[in-house]
Structure 1
């Protein structure tokens, strides 16, 4: 908050007024972290790994391309819509309880996916899984914020970021062999089994970790309904925009509806005594600065993670396996560097300095990827891919810990929900816009060589655009962080 008197760059700032300062009970930290990280691993694995199973699901169910794509899109849309709701609900009923409910919903939905008789039931179960996944991410980070302090807290958030990155990177690797050897239904069955282990840990965690839900609080149902409808309109427009056309009546109508509903939500937040999103949290400029870092990563890193394999195949002639192996250069820093960032902060480096270094890596890495061409060797492209991955890896987890340290502990769930809403929402926007622009710029007529050349040119133009967006967001982070620091003096 603006009234804080502590140095915001400190890894363990003094708790603001009103914060629960009850000491965390020792002995439960390891089990708590294990359960949260295990659940967190399932969520991104489910997102990236399910895409591998789509061909097998299509063959088995006879589904068309549109309902088949919603096996992935349904999860993403539900996740984006309900993350903020779960974050606020966690502050009211307790983060561990909300986390357990979310994990149970995800587990039940995964069983439903495994037993689905057709693709429409599967789509519905995936929507339900997305609702549960939103609880896991929003409540999981809030639990870590409450259960750990000082260097242990920084390390826990670093592991949170690393495990999320591992889930994204290993999702296809884990799901591919499962589909080949066990069948696509077992992808969801394995998720249910893992979450059953998580749920078995919850009673022990509840006895070890102190938390104080808001007494007598009630969920802002009216605000929740308006926000969910707004996010559903926005994300559905983004998902369908490339198919309908960004200038079509359907896309523009949904975007306009989303804008109106978000305006209504903002008005309700000002007039409601206990709103779904307390706008005082968003007015904290340093908190807002940290929440924009994942947005920059969505444009500077996630777009490359999504479309670089297609470039390597379409332009450089890589096989699918070769392209996948090459992508390790982009993902390995995401696995290794979150702990490095935490260690730097532990040794006295300003968290903001580490974050700004990660943003600089995103810009430099995207610009360095401009050297890509049909004949570029792996050794030549390796530095660019490693630097881009470092842009994601250095700040992964760190921004969550620092952002939540800027707000009162009783609002940590709400803050975590807002942060993760921006994270997934920006990923959906970045990936959809990049893909739509790529489709419109690439020439489909002509020979294969002309198509590859067109793809090469379009990809390079979009690299300039993604680097520019990352740079602008990075400058905005600097401005907000400096102004936020001024208000603490």
Structure 2
């Protein structure tokens, strides 16, 4: 009897069914994965057009980006528990359906608040696509095939971030901002057609996991409260009862969350992973990237269109200077580590690039040329790219392998949560600084009134709409004034981003050094 004949018929049949569907499964997961970062980086290019079309103020316009980011961050850990309870394919399917429905709703939304709600729905679906898509690949593939599948997973995600602004700019210029979201829905419709193949290819899952409902609800509540407080800070006042109440509520929700997780038999987050100082230090590297890179990914397109006068398509194309290093540098970092360069050296180099890139971007001006723009954007993008693939492996190597999945979930939650907070902080600070600039100068333009409303509209990148709202008799002159005010505020915030990067780099260095001292 040959060795092959000793394999049970059911096993051979299952393998025969799975093998032809593996390529289709990989293609479906990678297409869904491509859509998510494309949306994250591309939506920012559409903000000025969305603001002009919906006449939205800065706060609701910020939530077009923040609603997605907050929902994505909040539900990254939650979907892991859901997948354990209902199965990975079902959870992935639910994520694809939610993302497609949210994208379609975004494309047809006539009110910015409805658009915000739709973007939150896509964020929830995006978290499932990333979490459950990776789990599906780890189940379907093994050995060298698994390594290739995950290499493609990371590469496709990087390509999505890199080309998102350019694709969005082309769609907006040719068809309008709604087609950015319609294209996402169309792409995910193709993924839905491949789901039957996933069901046949992915082996059945035993299930039986429990969803940490109290912990999940408290974590989501805390994230929503803190982000709302930051977004509304410039509108209500940073010392207002509303903002302070939201922040107090967030602190209380996190305190209760910690207490619940300590007592839970199936916690969403095992707090013991936070006792490793070096792990915490490495987890702060993506936080630095959120402030130094992601904020610019969100707001630099508005600067390029509002202040430098470039059209949306050109602004999206120029954003490749910022995003292209995110595609190239992770592979470069891996090769350098393979040749003996210390990973921590590259991580601190990435932090230095973020700080230096933000400082160098202060050379931006209304008449800035592409050559002047290229160097600081490439350096800032390298700061993001050098750490993007490296920090995860270094951080998880410090954690008990039995808790690696949970630690990865915490790292990604901190990464995505800090992106939401950084974008909210930047937008609110931009509105505050711009409001002061407009308030100080609006009196010099006859007929101009409503400084607060004008600053709010201008902070969203819609300078023409802000000039019309002001009632100034000389709209052209007033629009030029708004461009100068926006330019000044943008430069001040760049220095702020560099300062945040320096502080985080110092904290990271202290945390990484703290664990080495006892051993010396």
TM over 0.5: yes
CA gap 1:352/1:88 in 2 versus in 1, 3 angstroms: farther
Task: Work out which of the residue numbers 33, 42, 47 in structure 2 matches 1:40.
Answer: 33
- Is 1:469 matched up with 2:485? no
The reply on whether 1:362 has 2:354 as its aligned counterpart is yes
Whole-Å Cα distance in 2 between the matches of residues 206 and 484 of structure 1? 46
Distance apart, 1:361 and its partner CA = 1.3
Helix, strand or coil for the counterpart of 2:239? coil
* In structure 1, distance between residues paired with 2:140 and 2:392: 14
Instruction: Provide the aligned length of Structure 1 versus Structure 2.
Output: 463
Answer whether contact 2:165 2:316 (CA < 8 A) is retained.
no
Matched with 2:234 is: 242
Contact 2:168 2:316 in 1 (8 A): no
Normalising by structure 1, what TM-score?
A: 0.78
The equivalent of 2:285 in structure 1 is 293
Deviation at 1:224, TM superposition (A): 1.4
From 65, 84, 91, the equivalent of 2:77 is: 84
Residues 334-413 of structure 1 aligned to structure 2 (within 5 Å): 334-373=326-365, 376-407=368-399, 411-413=403-405
| Residue matched to 1:14 | none
Aligned to 1:433: 425
- Partners of 1:415 and 1:141 in 2: how far apart? 15
CA distance in 1, matches of 2:212, 2:295: 35
Q: The residue matched to 2:356 in structure 1 has which SS? A: helix
Q: Which moved more, 1:412-421 or 1:203-212?
A: 203-212
Query: For residues 301 and 336 of structure 2, what CA distance do their matches in structure 1 show?
Result: 32
Query: Which structure carries more relative contact order (alpha carbon 8 Å, separation 6+)?
Result: 1
User: Unmatched 5+ residue regions in structure 2?
Assistant: 1-17, 445-476
Kept in 2: contact 1:159–1:339 (CA 8 A): no
> Deviation string for 1:140-173 (max 9, x for gaps)?
4555677778998777666545533433443343
Change (3 A) 1:33 1:356: farther
Alignment of 1:21-420 (within 5 A): 34-50=27-43, 65=57, 70-91=63-84, 93-113=86-106, 122-141=115-134, 159-178=152-171, 186-201=179-194, 216-312=208-304, 318=310, 320-373=312-365, 376-407=368-399, 411-420=403-412
* Contact 1:142/1:412 (8 A) holds in 2: no
Deviations 1:107-156 (A, max 9, x none): 34334545668766555443322211122233345556777789987776
1-side partners of 2:325 and 2:287: how far apart? 18
Question: What is aligned with 1:16?
Answer: none
* Cα distance in 2 between the residues matched to 1:439 and 1:52: 18
Of 303-312 and 29-38, more deviation after overlay is shown by: 29-38
Q: Contact (CA 8 Å) 1:154, 1:398: kept in 2 or not?
A: no
In the TM superposition, what is the alpha-carbon distance from 1:262 to its structure 2 partner? 0.5
- Which structure has the larger Rg? 2
Out of 475, 491, 510, which is 1:460 matched to?
491
Shift of 1:392: 0.8
| Contact preservation (8 Å) 1:162, 1:338 | no
Q: Is the 8 A contact 1:88 1:277 kept in 2?
A: no
CA contact (8 A) 1:106 1:192 kept: yes
Unaligned runs of 5+ in 1: 1-24
- For the structure 1 residues 317 and 183, does the alpha-carbon distance in structure 2 shift closer, same or farther, using more than 3 Å as the test? closer
Aligned 8 A contact 1:44 1:167 in 2:
yes
Contact 2:50 2:177 in 1 (8 A): yes
Q: RMSD over aligned Cα, in angstroms? A: 4.0
Q: Is the 8 A contact 2:70 2:416 kept in 1?
A: no
Comparing 454-463 with 331-340, greater Cα deviation is found at 454-463
Residues 59/436 of structure 1: CA separation in 2 closer, same or farther (3 Å cut): closer
The separation in 2 between residues aligned to 1:27 and 1:351, in whole angstroms, is 39
Per the TM alignment, residue 258 of structure 1 is displaced from its structure 2 partner at its CA by 0.6
Task: Work out whether residues 41 and 298 of structure 2, in 8 Å CA contact, stay in contact via their aligned partners in 1.
Answer: no
**1:121, 1:433 → 2: CA distance?**
23
What is the rounded CA distance, in whole Å, between the counterparts of 2:385 and 2:516 in structure 1? 25
1:274 Cα offset (Å): 1.6
Bigger Cα displacement from structure 2, 226-235 vs 254-263: 226-235
Match of residue 9 from structure 1 = none
Change beyond 3 A, Cα 1:388–1:58:
closer
| Distance in 2, Cα, partners of 1:374 & 1:115 | 34
C-alpha change, 1:358 and 1:152, in structure 2 (3 Å) is farther
Contact 2:287 / 2:419 at 8 angstroms: preserved in 1? yes
Greater Cα offset, 392-401 or 196-205: 196-205
SS in 1 for 2:387: coil
Equivalents in 2 of 1:148, 1:477: separation in Å? 36
- On the 8 A contact 2:231/2:425 being kept in 1, the answer is no
Q: Describe the shift of the 1:382–1:51 C-alpha distance in structure 2 as closer, same or farther (beyond 3 A).
A: closer
Cα distance in 2 for residues equivalent to 1:43 and 1:469: 27
Which stretch of structure 1 is more off in the superposition, 221-230 or 154-163?
A: 154-163
C-alpha distance in structure 2 between counterparts of 1:141 and 1:403, whole Å = 18
Deviates more, 1:219-228 or 1:299-308: 299-308
Report the Cα offset of residue 265 of structure 1.
0.4
